[in-house]
């Protein structure tokens, strides 16, 4: 259970979350072509029995001997590490349910200055050592004192005073100031939890900037069997001593994560031949398979927690961008219907709120404000605003404070990527209202440097939050401001400053987000957001998951999204607990 007292907030949270059910805007397709195509099953290149294995096609792997996620390039992304890593709580955006896992309950005092966590006494690490409150204390205190580590500093350093362990299954955190959202750090909501518990008996004698954690010691239902560099493959094996088997018994004996071919035709053929069960096909090739009656493809739509957005640089040093009317003119130049219907690889709805359209987020909306500050594609309104703040000179060029304007749009997306295409739609519309712009695709490190240093006008990117809007708003306050040229370190990248907004966010930071006092403040913050537009949501983001039913069935479907279907989230263990083998054998 979740503890009583102040933690009754979670009861309200769950009540608000659980009514909406799963989210997929793509209805079950009852008119798809008849499955007439016969398939030829290929031989998967794996070192374990095919009929006992789920094979996941994933990204290009470069790290194979390190699983330390606290340092740059210290752990491979999307390689199955999530199958061995568990949070204190799971929050499912597919069902709206919060499920206690390593922890059985949490409870705040009335002032939110103390948090008590209870750990499941059955929990243990995959090396057999017990997992509990001492591991939690070790993790929190290490990260609190090491802001140089990923997951260090931040909320932990700002809030944590002490962690006491009255018994092996109880941790009591005392805060420096009210911290009603501190437990968010240990909930797997978007992908994994912000902070994962570390085994003290492993890490206490290690330098966290050098230790590779190979093989990784975790608590999940799978353990690393082997990493095969020359095949770009990770093989995970079911842990026979998994501590929570009475609640979760994963079905495949092995989970194999492998980089797919860079040649899309070749990767798609591998899926068609059932050499992969998950992934290894993109939407154009999946469409071809559907149209030819391929019988084994299941496509499950699920929205990413981060809408595609434009970050707008509000710093006065960027000239006309500091004007709210300029940012509204940009807003009127965004053709969200076109972007959602024909630019993004799958059809998705437009977005106005800066968060995903999950049922769990419905309670943060205010439709009256959304209608008052209506988002629409309207270049005439854009021109009217521009005429006020950037009138045309004798040469027909728009000027601001005597200087011709020309905006710089950047994106980390490659030129054939979705965010680049979205930015190009905006660039075209801006040109029609007399605002010239440049659009550049920048490599990851180059982009990040410019983005963090505020050396841009518009950035085509993504944004969102895990549980409530204050997580987003906290990064936008004036105390996080850095002048152009100085690294923002992930905070207030658009250089937004508004004293009224700061005050509201500070008040919200000390309130239970579901308290009656919070909603009016959330609405005030939302209205300032709509007035100032430091960030513009364009579309919700659809990422279909592709499953093959040759060897395994009962995958999540559009009409039964029983769990988040994304294989790089730790929630995928619940999918592996639901599927069942078809009995198909691999070729000799």
pLDDT tens digit sequence for 487-537: 887 889 999 999 999 999 999 998 988 889 999 999 999 999 999 999 999
- State which of 175, 204, 233 marks the end of a domain: 204
How far apart CA 353 and CA 401 sit, in angstroms, is 32
336 shares a domain with 265:
no
Same domain, 229 and 288: yes
Give the pLDDT confidence score for residue 270 in this predicted structure.
95
Q: Which comes out higher in pLDDT, residue 428 or 587? A: 428
Q: pLDDT by residue (tens digit) across 202-233?
A: 999 999 999 999 999 999 999 999 999 999 99
Asked if residue 71 belongs to a domain, the reply is no
3-class DSSP assignment, residue 471: helix
Residue 159: give the domain boundaries.
Answer: 85-204
User: Could you tell me if residue 102 is inside a domain?
Assistant: yes
Question: What band does 466 get if pLDDT is binned at 50, 70 and 90?
Answer: confident
Give the total number of structural domains in the chain.
Answer: 3
* 334 DSSP assignment: -
Of the candidates 109, 88, 100, 108, the residue with the CA atom closest to the CA atom of residue 14: 100
The CATH number of whichever domain residue 178 belongs to comes to 3.90.76.10
Q: Is residue 417 part of a domain?
A: yes
Residue 391, token pair as written in the block: 């009138």
Quick check: 434 and 385 in contact, CB under 8 A? no
Lowest mean pLDDT among 97-111, 140-154, 234-248: 140-154
Mean pLDDT for 162-176 is 98
CA-to-CA distance for 404 and 390, rounded, in angstroms? 9
Output phi, psi for 299, to 5 deg. -110, 125
247 in a domain, yes or no? yes
Residue 226 lies in a domain: yes
Q: Specify whether 269 is located in the same domain as 325.
A: no
Answer yes or no: do 253 and 336 share one domain. Answer: no
What lies within 8 Å, CB to CB, of 8 at 6+ separation is none
Whole-number average pLDDT of the chain = 91
Tell me the mean pLDDT in the region 17-27.
Answer: 39
In tens, the pLDDT along 369-403 reads 999 999 999 999 999 999 999 999 999 999 999 99
The pLDDT tens digits for 25-65 are 454 444 455 566 678 999 999 999 999 999 999 988 889 99
The reply to whether 418 and 484 lie within a common domain is: yes
Report helix, strand or coil for 286. Answer: helix
Spell out the SS3 assignment of 341-401: HHHCCCCCCECCCCCCCCHHHHHHCCHHHHHHCCCCCCHHHHHHHHHHHCCECCCCCEEEC
Instruction: Please give the structure tokens belonging to residue 214.
Output: 């190979």
- 534 and 546 share one domain: no
Do the domain assignments include residue 31? Answer: no
| Encoded tokens for 529 | 């957001």
Note the pTM of the prediction, 2 decimals. 0.82
pLDDT over 90 for what percent of the chain?
A: 78
Residue 137 lies in a domain: yes
* CATH code for the domain of 492: 3.10.105.10
pLDDT at 10 over 50: no
- The per-residue pLDDT for 147 is 78
Pairing between strand 187-188 and 89-91? parallel
Examine the domain organization and report whether 518 and 571 are in the same domain.
no
Q: What is the CATH number of the domain that holds 572?
A: 3.40.190.10
d(CA 367, CA 374): 10
Specify whether 389 is located in the same domain as 477. yes
Does one domain contain both 111 and 128? yes
Q: What is the pLDDT of residue 34?
A: 58
DSSP state of 542: B
SS3 458: strand
């Amino acid at each position: 259970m979740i503890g009583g007292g102040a933690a009754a907030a979670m009861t309200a949270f769950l009540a608000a979350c659980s009514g909406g059910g799963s989210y997929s805007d793509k209805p079950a397709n009852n008119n798809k072509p008849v499955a007439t195509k016969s398939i030829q099953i290929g031989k998967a290149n794996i070192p374990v029995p095919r009929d006992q294995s789920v094979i996941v096609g994933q990204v290009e792997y470069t790290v194979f001997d390190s699983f330390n996620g606290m340092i740059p390039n210290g752990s491979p992304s999307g390689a199955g590490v999530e199958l061995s890593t568990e949070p204190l709580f799971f929050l499912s955006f597919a069902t709206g349910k919060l499920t206690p896992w390593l922890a059985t309950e949490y409870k705040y005092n009335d002032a939110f200055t103390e948090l008590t966590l209870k750990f499941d006494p059955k929990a243990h690490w995959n090396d057999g050592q017990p997992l509990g409150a001492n591991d939690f204390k070790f993790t929190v205190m290490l990260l609190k004192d090491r802001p140089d580590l990923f997951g260090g500093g931040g909320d932990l350093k700002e809030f944590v005073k002490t962690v006491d362990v009255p018994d092996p299954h109880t941790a009591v955190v005392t805060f420096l100031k009210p911290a009603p959202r501190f437990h968010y750090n240990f909930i797997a909501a978007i992908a994994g939890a912000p902070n994962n518990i570390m085994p003290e008996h492993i890490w206490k004698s290690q330098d966290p900037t050098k230790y590779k954690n190979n093989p990784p010691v975790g608590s999940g239902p799978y353990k690393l069997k082997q990493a095969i560099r020359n095949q770009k493959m990770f093989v995970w094996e079911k842990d026979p001593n998994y501590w929570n088997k009475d609640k979760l018994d994963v079905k495949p004996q092995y989970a194999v994560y492998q980089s797919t071919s860079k040649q899309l035709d070749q990767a798609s053929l591998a899926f068609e031949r059932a050499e992969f069960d998950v992934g290894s096909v993109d939407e154009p090739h999946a469409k071809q398979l559907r149209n030819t009656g391929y019988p084994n493809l299941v496509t499950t739509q699920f929205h990413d927690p981060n809408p595609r957005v434009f970050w707008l640089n509000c710093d006065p040093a960027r000239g006309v961008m500091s004007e709210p009317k300029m940012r509204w003119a940009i807003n009127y130049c965004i053709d969200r219907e076109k972007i959602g219907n024909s630019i993004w690889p799958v059809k998705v709805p437009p977005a106005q709120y800066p968060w995903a359209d999950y049922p769990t987020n419905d309670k943060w909306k205010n439709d009256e404000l959304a209608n008052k500050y209506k988002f629409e594609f309207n270049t005439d309104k854009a021109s009217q605003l521009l005429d006020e703040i950037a009138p045309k000179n004798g040469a027909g060029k728009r000027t601001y404070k005597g200087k011709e304007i020309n905006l710089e749009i950047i994106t980390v997306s490659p030129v054939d990527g979705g965010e680049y295409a979205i930015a190009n739609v905006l660039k075209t519309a801006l040109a029609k209202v007399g605002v010239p712009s440049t659009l550049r695709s920048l490599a990851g490190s180059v982009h990040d440097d410019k983005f963090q240093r505020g050396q841009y006008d518009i950035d085509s990117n993504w944004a969102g939050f895990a549980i409530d809007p204050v997580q987003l708003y906290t990064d936008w306050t004036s105390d996080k401001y850095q002048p152009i040229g100085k690294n923002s370190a992930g905070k207030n990248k658009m250089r937004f400053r508004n004293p009224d907004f700061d005050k509201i966010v500070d008040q919200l930071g000390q309130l239970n987000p579901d308290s009656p006092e919070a909603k009016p403040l959330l609405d005030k913050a939302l209205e300032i957001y709509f007035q100032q537009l430091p960030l513009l949501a364009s579309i919700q983001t659809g990422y279909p998951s592709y499953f093959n039913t040759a060897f395994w069935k009962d995958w999540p479907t559009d009409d039964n999204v029983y769990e988040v279907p994304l294989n790089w989230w730790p929630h995928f263990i619940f999918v592996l607990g639901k599927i069942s083998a078809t009995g198909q054998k691999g070729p000799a």
